[in-house]
Amino acid sequence: MKTIVFLTGSYFPDHSAVSNCIERVILQLEESFNIIVICPQTSTEQLLNEKHENHTIIRFRNKDIENKISRKMKRMFNRYSLLDNLVDGYLSEMEKIDNIDTIFPAIMPFETALAAMNLKEKNKKVNIVPFMFDPYSNNSNLHYNDVIKKIKSKSLMKLEKGLLENSQYIIFIHHLKEYFNKNYSKYKKKFVFIEHPLFEKKEYFIDNQKNDTDDINLVYTGSFYKKIRNPNYFLDIMDKVINKKNNLFVHLYYFGDCKKVIKKWSALNSNIIDYGSVNSNIAREKMQRADVLIGVGNLTNSQTPSKIFEYISFKKKIIYFYKNKNDRNINILKKYPYSLIIDESKGDINENIEKIIHFLELKVISNSDVNNKINILFNDANPNYISEIIIDKIAK
């Protein structure tokens, strides 16, 4: 049985958005391969080596994990915007493993890619297959601003090109297709494009026997940031909806820098409940029990957040608030038949309030109907589909 290694950011039980996606694929592959996940330890309570499902997790200590200022300074002054000790951590653990066939660096973090390339320099037989969820050379968030990104651009694109040259093939999320086809057309034959692999294995029971006297629980899970994904409009409109329909409860499970904003709204309305940050397993449990899932879009359009595909996987109603008319999630949710898309720039807030109330009163369709439609519409987000691609290419 071949040994394949996935390099991720924080993994089980504290998944990052990327590793949450990666785990869905790993669970489909673990019967066919000896799978090892290498990731940084994000808590001293986490074991450095443990078995999870049918694969192994190896964690390494990362001294910068708690020091945000140190990480920022090191990234700013590194020509690749990378943390050397993170690269070294991945590389050190890989060097202890015998007979690695293929390395799957999950990007972000891009340190996983550099570590994979460093190992390949020492062992030419190792294959590299990156999973690219996020942009690298043109990622202003990673490089902190456009000025720094421009100064580093030649180094960034050189490293990016080196990854493509050293990879057997590359798995991209669709939103990266235009950039890579335009800038690296030479490597097109290596490109495979998929969607965020976030469809759960389990079937979720949907209660379609609810009536207007029952509580309706709306759940938000994810991040809030004042400059990128501010929750003010969403909470303002939900406060007004609750005042008209007081059997609604909005449950917020989040991280980021908007604690004061959320605390203000939860103090004004007791049906808006602030739970703060929870791990991904708890978040999934809350999503499973929700009647409606809430999404809030970004101001920027550089990425397609994976959260919306995680929401779709639960086969629930989704209300999505968007700020940017070019938000990629808009077209995705237009295909999903059980969504309501709310434009935050719309002048008449009362119109949006009425749309939400009407949407909440609609009956939920049966689980089998949802599954059939989702499987047809979002086949390239299905972990089975993605794992079959991997098995086919590794076998060649």
Give 274-303 pLDDT, tens digit per residue. 999 988 788 888 998 999 999 999 987 766
Tell me what percent of the chain is helix, strand and coil, each rounded to the nearest 5: 45, 20, 35
Q: Model confidence at 206, in pLDDT bands (50, 70, 90)? A: very low
Q: pLDDT category, 70, cuts 50, 70, 90?
A: confident
pLDDT at 200: 58
- Under DSSP, the state recorded for 299 is S
What's this model's pTM, rounded to 2 decimal places? 0.80
Mean pLDDT value across residues 308-313: 86
136's tokens: 């690298």
SS3 label, residue 222? strand
3-state secondary structure of 74: helix
